[in-house]
Amino acid sequence: MGTPVEADLSSIIALVVLLLSAVLLWWFGLRVRQGTRFAFRPIAAYEVLKSLLLSVAETGKWVHVSLGNVRLGGDQTAIASVGLAVLDYLAEQGASMGISPVVTVSDPTMLMASQDALYRAYARKGRARHYRSTSAQYVASDPAAYAVGAQAVIDDDRVAANVMMGQYGDEFLLMGETGAQRDLVQVTGSSTITSQPFMVATTEYALVGEEAFAAGAYLGDEPMQAASLRVQDVLRIIAVVAIVAGAIVKTVLGL
């Protein structure tokens, strides 16, 4: 148990970090809205996603998008939103070219969200009448059953690329290995640590750890997404500097 002084100090530090984050978020958001474009480090998976629909359109085939075993609500909302952000980006590209991603989900809430993302993408391009609700498919709620159903879609000869963004367990290997055997272009990202070794083993373009949560900043035009990512970078730098300074003070002064 910490002393009352240590508890008060922790509360003060937490409050300072919170206030600093809010100020930085406002400042960077303002700069983005004024036209500033921040340079983020290149991530190969996002570079592939930006040209994926164009390369697939030339073959006349499809892109499969798996949103994994997630639902909207609770602690899964963050990774579910990431998958929907990627889908929204691909759907808008596809609407411009007259093709639509084929989406598989494992939860009814994600089915409705996916259909909404596809419809809005077509509507923004003035092609709402070309939208087909069947482009998004509910497979199964059980992770293993979902993987088997999605595996069948990935194995379809009409699929030329496979994007998997969501929460996965060991069942990821069924889908990833199927795509690898067909030599598909595969882009993957997961919030589950146990599935990440399978991602790296079966796919060339894997988003590891927090890279997956940067989708909005890399693919979208939302100012607050880019500002949020910039705030995280600044806070990391401050944390590293504070740790190094603390170590030096403790070593030199013995405090």
- The CATH code that applies to domain 44-219 is 3.40.50
Q: Which of 14-18, 145-149, 171-175 has the highest mean pLDDT?
A: 145-149
Residue 161 pLDDT grade (very low, low, confident, very high; cuts 50, 70, 90): very high
Choose between 162 and 15: higher pLDDT.
Answer: 162
55 token code pair = 């390369």
Q: Which of 21-25, 128-132, 151-155 has the highest mean pLDDT?
A: 151-155
Q: What's the N-to-C CA distance of the chain in angstroms?
A: 21
Say which DSSP state 135 is in: G
pLDDT tens track for 56-76: 887 888 899 999 888 887 777
Averaged pLDDT score across all residues of the chain: 81
Asked whether residue 39 carries a pLDDT value surpassing 70, the answer given is no
pLDDT of 148: 92
Q: Which of 62-66, 188-192, 220-224 has the lowest mean pLDDT?
A: 220-224
Residue 22 pLDDT grade (very low, low, confident, very high; cuts 50, 70, 90): confident
Residue 146 pLDDT grade (very low, low, confident, very high; cuts 50, 70, 90): very high
Supply the DSSP string of 75-105, one letter for each residue. Answer: GGHHHHHHHHHHHHHHHHHHHHHT---EEEE
147 token code pair = 């993987």
CA distance 92 to 125: 8
The angle subtended at Cα 150 by Cα 158 and Cα 62, nearest 5°, is 25
Residue 28 pLDDT grade (very low, low, confident, very high; cuts 50, 70, 90): low
